[in-house]
Amino acid sequence: MAEMTYRDAVAAAIAQEMAHDPSVVLIGEDVGAAGGVFKATVGLLEKFGPNRVVDTPISEQAILGAAMGAAMTGLRPVAEVMFSDFFAVCWDIVANEIAKARYMTNGQVSLPLVIRTANGGGVRFGAQHSQSVESWAMSIPGLKVVAPSTPRDVIGLFAAAVRDPDPVIFFEQKSLYPTKGEVEEGELVDELGRASTRRQGTDVTVVALAAMVPRALDAAEALAQEGVSAEVIDLRSLVPLDVTTIAGSVARTGHLVTVEENPRLCGWGAEVASIVAEECLFDLDGPIVRVTTPHAPLPAADALEDAAMPSVARIVEGVRRSLA
């Protein structure tokens, strides 16, 4: 086991897959010589050369158009969209072309590509560079959606994404880049659609994603001081969604709280709540509670951003409301 930052795990994950498969290429703005704007691709240009690590113009449409064409003709491209907010300028290629190519060609064309992007708030970048947009991607048929919370899962889930035959949106929560975690030695390959139970509990199920997972774990620790045993589930991927793990946990605890960084309206937690209400209604002993950001642009000011995003205190309060 070795300790590694989330940022370094991204570079290690890409390097693992580029070494594993010579058809894997990395393209995006500043991914090569600069090592990425978040320094998450440092060393890859030197290791794999300019034919496989390609700096592009500042054009998300060009990046994803090139990635789509490369995937259609035998490569496995990894394309970086620097900030997830910038999907707004290339969403037609993602939602109408990449997501639908396999379906519209009756399976004759597959698109084994990964779109990496820095997602979410917590680093004071303001409303246009701090959005949590995983629910945008989740709503599009044909896309798989992944959001790791630990350095170890960055590597394992990235490998699964690259080796998948379908397009995967890989959300890296930017406030997690400096965080550290233990990573096993050797090749790591996970399976998409498998949640991870980060903490066992008996009184309430807390479901979280990406940067909200460590906050949910901190909340569970605080709740334990009150005699409340919270089970914390890290979804890890939204599509495929591990309904089995969620439903099994709720059947044991009787309570569900979702912790979402995305704005409340149509967030992924609403889908989880809907599924649990349909599949586990008679297991529930209290209301489903969603802890989210408000349906408003995320502010840049420190105190305001902190107030908008789910905090440990708000998660604890959400659990109390469910148990009450």
Asked if pLDDT for residue 189 goes beyond 90, the answer is: yes
Choose the final residue of a domain: 183, 217, 236: 183
Choose the final residue of a domain: 148, 183, 218: 183
Is residue 190 in a domain? Answer: no
Is residue 188 in a domain? Answer: no
At residue 17 the predicted structure's pLDDT band, cuts being 50, 70 and 90, is very high
Quote the number of domains for the chain: 2
- Based on the fold, state whether residues 49 and 90 are members of the same structural domain: yes
- Based on the fold, state whether residues 164 and 248 are members of the same structural domain: no
- Based on the fold, state whether residues 125 and 56 are members of the same structural domain: yes
- Based on the fold, state whether residues 259 and 169 are members of the same structural domain: no
Is residue 304 in a domain? Answer: yes
Is residue 220 in a domain? Answer: yes
Q: Look at strands 144-146 and 237-239 and give their pairing.
A: antiparallel
At residue 84 the predicted structure's pLDDT band, cuts being 50, 70 and 90, is very high
At residue 1 the predicted structure's pLDDT band, cuts being 50, 70 and 90, is confident
- pLDDT tens for 19-67 read 999 999 999 999 999 999 999 999 999 999 999 999 999 999 999 999 9
- pLDDT tens for 142-154 read 999 999 999 999 9
Distance CA 318, CA 223 (A): 11
- Based on the fold, state whether residues 30 and 56 are members of the same structural domain: yes
Percent of the chain with pLDDT over 70: 100
pLDDT (mean) for 120-136: 97
pLDDT (mean) for 79-102: 98
Dihedral, CA atoms, 83, 84, 85, 91, nearest 10 degrees?
120
Predicted pLDDT at 301: 96
Is residue 191 in a domain? Answer: no
Query: What domain range is 145 assigned to?
Result: 2-183
- 261, containing H or E segment: strand 256-263
Distance CA 17, CA 41 (A): 13
- Based on the fold, state whether residues 278 and 177 are members of the same structural domain: no
- Based on the fold, state whether residues 80 and 170 are members of the same structural domain: yes
Is residue 284 in a domain? Answer: yes
Reference 46, options 33, 29, 31, 30; nearest CA is 33
CATH number at residue 304: 3.40.50.920
CB 248 within 8 A of CB 207: no
pLDDT (mean) for 78-103: 98
Contacts for 32-38 with beta carbons within 8 Å, 24 or more apart? 36/80, 37/82, 37/118, 38/7, 38/118, 38/172, 38/174, 38/177
Reference 143, options 93, 73, 212, 70; nearest CA is 93
Catalytic residues: 129
